Amino acid sequence: NAGVTQTPKFQVLKTGQSMTLQCAQDMNHNSMYWYRQDPGMGLRLIYYSASEGTTDKGEVPNGYNVSRLNKREFSLRLESAAPSQTSVYFCASRKTGGIYSNQPQHFGDGTRLSIL
């Protein structure tokens, strides 16, 4: 059971380049999330998708776009990468709806992104 799978695991970009981070979950979860993790700041929500076909901004959405491709996949795109976007990016998913309130989020192992 793979859970949440993120690709790639590592990436180095130059300022101004574009990139898409991929995330897929095999747990039939409705909701998916993208976070960034910076030293001393915990995890901050970039975008989330409450269900297939919907996306919403989180705490730090500027410079990012997302696509909920289907129920399994949720991608994060950097259109023009900046050094301030150097971070570790985590994708998460959770079951929602009906009796599934307050269910935990399950995380992937992250993408480590450096922008020079």
Partner 1 sequence: GENVEQHPSTLSVQEGDSAVIKCTYSDSASNYFPWYKQELGKGPQLIIDIRSNVGEKKDQRIAVTLNKTAKHFSLHITETQPEDSAVYFCAASRTGKLIFGQGTTLQVKP
Q: Which of 29, 36, 68, 94 binds partner 1 (CB under 8 A)?
A: 94
**Other beta carbons less than 10 A from residue 109's beta carbon:** 13
> Per CB under 8 A, does 107 bind partner 1?
yes
Candidates 11-19, 20-28, 37-45, 73-81: pick the segment binding partner 1 (CB under 8 A): 37-45
Candidates 17-25, 35-43, 60-68, 70-78: pick the segment binding partner 1 (CB under 8 A): 35-43
> Per CB under 8 A, does 82 bind partner 1?
no
> Per CB under 8 A, does 87 bind partner 1?
no
Written as six digits, the tokens of 50 are 């409450």
Report helix, strand or coil for 32.
Answer: strand
Written as six digits, the tokens of 56 are 């919403």
- What is the C-alpha separation between 18 and 2, in angstroms, rounded? 28
- What is the C-alpha separation between 112 and 116, in angstroms, rounded? 13
- What is the C-alpha separation between 93 and 36, in angstroms, rounded? 15
How many residues make contact with partner 1 (CB under 8 A)? Answer: 25
By CB under 8 A, the residues from 39 to 68 that bind partner 1 are: 40-45, 48, 50, 58-59
Query: In the Cβ-directed half-sphere of 54, how many Cα atoms lie within 13 Å?
Result: 6
| Interacting residues with partner 1 (CB under 8 A) | 4, 31, 33, 40-45, 48, 50, 58-59, 90, 92, 94, 96, 102, 104-110
